[in-house]
Structure 1
Amino acid sequence: MSSASKKPGPEPGVKYARVMLKISGEALMGDQGYGLNPRTVARIAEEVKAVHDLGVEICMVIGGGNIFRGLAGSAQGMERTTADYMGMLATVMNALAMQSALESLGVFTRVISAIPMDQVCEPYIRRRAVRHLEKKRVCIFAAGTGNPYFTTDTAATLRANEMGCQAVFKGTKVDGVYDKDPKKHSDAKRYEKVSYDEALEKHLGVMDATAIALARDNDLPIIVFSLDEPGGFRGILAGEGTYTTVNAKG
């Protein structure tokens, strides 16, 4: 292959060439108690663009808890499968909002749904999604795995493995994994690194158990960082910032 025909990779010094960004639906609420805050969506889109500009191929999964959470609906008497499907539809709404924000910044994006809805977004076809990534389009995977009883954490880990991502980045309200809630306990200890097994045994709240086990079985690192820290996502890709890495060694 001639040098002219080689696909451009990430900039020198960038650790990962292809990553999955998992954020909660609540992250899109901003200071509201419900729904989407356009300014917050735009700010997160700018964070994603900053990493995209490094030449990194980006997948995204966004939860739906800002609109509807299936487990909460089930707890209030709704049939669980129906509640989970409603939650999946909420993730599609969030994905479309993020697509709009990214494309307003000039970042080409595809929303890919596990539940077919052709007039709104693409159906999930693995080889097509991989091709989008190779063309430097951000792929936002919506509707979870397409099955009830599975969280968007599990969907993110599943899609990350299918897409050949080198890490899952979990954007949260805090700058890593703590032994207890740092917002409630001033003596909370932050882990620099933690093993998959320790995260499961101590219930550290990194992701749900199924997602962590899937990452462990495929040796996929999970990097937990603060999405509220401006430039934090880009900084980690460049080897800077504060975060916790969950991997086999801990």
Structure 2
Amino acid sequence: MSKGYRRVILKLSGEALAGEQGAGIAHEMLASVARQVREMRSLGVEVALVVGGGNIWRGIAGSSQGMDRATADYMGMLATVINALALQDALEQYEVQTRVLSAIEMRQIAEPYIRRRAIRHMEKGRVVIFAAGTGNPYFSTDTTAALRAAEIEADVILMAKRVDGVYDSDPLKNPEAKKFDRLTYIDVLNLGLGVMDSTAASLCMDNDIPLIVFNLNLNGNILKAVKGETIGTYIGRD
């Protein structure tokens, strides 16, 4: 495992942004993420963010209630744009230059996603936030993170969650749940561990993109992960 990374994707779940309140956007969580991203930039790390929308709307939940799946997923994509704009505002309050690139064109509030433009922004020291998923229904924001990581040649995906790694069952419900320190992509797929969906896991495996799953709620964890310190669960080829 590399000790420190040059270009990273930080994947934030929408639920993580909700903090303790469980839904909506917790401003103290935005501030915590913004501070840590600013510190990452001060280390010279190029940073891109992918954010989910589950704190506002979950497409799968909508479709399970009888809504058309594509419509529900598009609503979820729009929820990620709301979160992306909130993160952009928080980062700019900490004087971090930020650009939101949306897979669904909405030119009044975000730039369209163009791979070369995203890389150029990062090379200039700007933080890039990828919004609106892949722009297609039936694909999760985990798949977005894997796809964008491959496109921009990121060294690692940092998956910030509400738990401190990957367990064999939900540690919030089962106090006997066992934590894994290291896993392979095949382990994730075969054991159905719920780290990310199979499409995302396969993309990471095919493109040899490692993942680090860790707890966002502990301040300083993002920096520990980006420095290559042992934290959470590492997922890779070996």
TM-score normalised by L of structure 2: 0.96
| One-letter amino acid matched to 1:79 | D
The 8 Å contact of residues 28 and 36 in structure 1, kept in 2 or not, is answered as yes
1:191-202 maps to which residues of 2 (within 5 A)? 191-202=180-191
Do the aligned partners of residues 229 and 241 (structure 1) sit closer, same or farther apart at CA in structure 2, a change above 3 Å counting?
farther
Q: Which of 122, 129, 138 is matched with 1:133 structurally?
A: 122
| One-letter amino acid matched to 1:89 | L
1:133-172 maps to which residues of 2 (within 5 A)? 133-172=122-161
| One-letter amino acid matched to 2:94 | L
SS at 2:213 equivalent: strand
> Matched residues in 1 for 2:181 and 2:19: separation?
27
The 8 Å contact of residues 212 and 225 in structure 2, kept in 1 or not, is answered as no
Aligned: 1:19 with 2:8: yes
Rg larger in structure: 1
- Stretches (4+) displaced over 6 A: none
Q: Which residue of 2 aligns with 1:53?
A: 42
The 8 Å contact of residues 3 and 229 in structure 2, kept in 1 or not, is answered as no
> Matched residues in 2 for 1:20 and 1:209: separation?
19
SS at 1:29 equivalent: helix
Q: Which of 68, 81, 89 is matched with 2:78 structurally?
A: 89
The offset of 1:180, in angstroms, is 1.6
TM-score normalised by L of structure 1: 0.92
SS at 1:34 equivalent: coil
SS at 1:31 equivalent: helix
> Matched residues in 2 for 1:209 and 1:190: separation?
20
Q: Which residue of 1 aligns with 2:106?
A: 117
Do the aligned partners of residues 247 and 14 (structure 1) sit closer, same or farther apart at CA in structure 2, a change above 3 Å counting?
closer
Let me know the Cα RMSD of the aligned residues: 1.3
SS at 1:74 equivalent: helix
Q: Deviations for 1:166-199, whole angstroms, at most 9, x for unmatched residues?
A: 1111001111111122223333221111010111
SS at 1:60 equivalent: strand
> Matched residues in 2 for 1:70 and 1:184: separation?
24
| One-letter amino acid matched to 2:66 | G
The 8 Å contact of residues 195 and 247 in structure 1, kept in 2 or not, is answered as yes
The 8 Å contact of residues 173 and 227 in structure 1, kept in 2 or not, is answered as yes
| One-letter amino acid matched to 2:213 | V
SS at 2:8 equivalent: strand
Q: Which residue of 2 aligns with 1:210?
A: 199
After TM superposition, the structure 1 stretch with the greater mean CA deviation from structure 2, 156-165 or 174-183, is 174-183
Provide structure 2 residue ranges, at least 5 long, that are not aligned to the other structure.
none
The offset of 1:241, in angstroms, is 4.6
Identity %: 55
| One-letter amino acid matched to 2:171 | P
Provide structure 1 residue ranges, at least 5 long, that are not aligned to the other structure.
1-12
- How many residues in Structure 1 have an aligned counterpart in Structure 2? 237
1:32-71 maps to which residues of 2 (within 5 A)? 32-71=21-60
The offset of 1:161, in angstroms, is 0.6
The offset of 1:49, in angstroms, is 1.5
